[in-house]
């Protein structure tokens, strides 16, 4: 879980150790976000939901007003949205969306960085230390979609259809990655290709099966 490393350890030292150890393969399953996810975002709808749901005293999650949860999150990570200027921090929005439900241990969870690095940046780091993809999968968890619809009351009509627009956009967001990468060897380090590919493909199937 890469986000645990960034939250509780020295990420730079971690990547140095990964490079130094030269593991033959790396499997990653974690939360992540796409840097381009905001390109087609419904800005007006997001701002409306922010003002009327996330900053509402009346809309509650487990008896706690969303306004209280949102303000607590923003105290730790900064503003999600400025409705007046229509400026939205996409990363903070995504972070909030996958975090707000953990109220039982909120004082700890709110400080943990669930999204320390984008998919693009993570892929770049892995390439820079000599790893290439054998399997690359991004996915959205159906569970999140159901929770967002219920918790944010997105099935209730509003005059401009903002809830509907917001929910439709949420369903396009990938929230998790499943990656399997292989160390790229030079000619002097090359292994028997048949053995290498056979073992790696078996390992890939084992890893993916474990998370189905």
78-125 pLDDT, tens digit per residue, is 999 999 999 999 999 999 999 999 999 999 999 999 999 999 999 999
pLDDT for the residue 188: 42
pLDDT-derived band at 11, boundaries 50, 70, 90 = confident
pLDDT-derived band at 187, boundaries 50, 70, 90 = very low
So where are the chain's domains?
Answer: 1-32+116-140+176-212, 39-114+141-174
Q: Contact at 8 Å (CB) between 4 and 109?
A: no
Q: Which two tokens stand for residue 77?
A: 């990570």
Give the span between the Cα atoms of 208 and 74, in whole angstroms.
35
Residue labelled with tokens 């693009």: 120
Q: What is the mean pLDDT of the chain?
A: 87
Which tens digit of pLDDT belongs to each residue from 111-162?
Answer: 999 999 999 999 999 999 999 999 999 888 788 999 999 999 999 999 999 9
Q: Which two tokens stand for residue 26?
A: 């790396």
């Amino acid at each position: 879980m890469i986000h645990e490393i960034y939250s509780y350890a020295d990420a730079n030292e971690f990547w140095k150790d990964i490079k130094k150890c030269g593991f033959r393969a790396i499997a990653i399953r974690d939360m992540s976000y796409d840097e381009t996810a905001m390109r087609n975002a419904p800005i007006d709808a997001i701002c409306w939901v922010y003002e009327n749901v996330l900053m509402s005293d009346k809309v509650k999650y487990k008896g706690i007003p969303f306004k209280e949860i949102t303000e607590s999150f923003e105290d730790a990570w900064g503003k999600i949205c400025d409705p007046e200027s229509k400026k939205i921090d996409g990363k903070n929005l995504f972070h909030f969306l996958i975090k707000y439900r953990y109220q039982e241990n909120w004082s700890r969870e709110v400080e943990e960085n669930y999204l320390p690095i984008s998919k693009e940046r993570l892929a770049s780091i892995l390439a820079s230390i000599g790893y290439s993809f054998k399997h690359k999968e991004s996915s959205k968890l159906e569970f999140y979609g159901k929770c967002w619809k219920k918790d944010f009351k997105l099935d209730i009509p509003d005059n401009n259809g903002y809830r509907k627009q917001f929910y439709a956009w949420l369903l396009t967001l990938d929230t998790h990655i499943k990656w399997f990468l292989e160390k790229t060897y030079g000619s002097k380090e090359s292994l028997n290709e048949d053995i290498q590919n056979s073992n790696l493909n078996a390992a890939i199937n084992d890893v993916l099966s474990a998370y189905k």
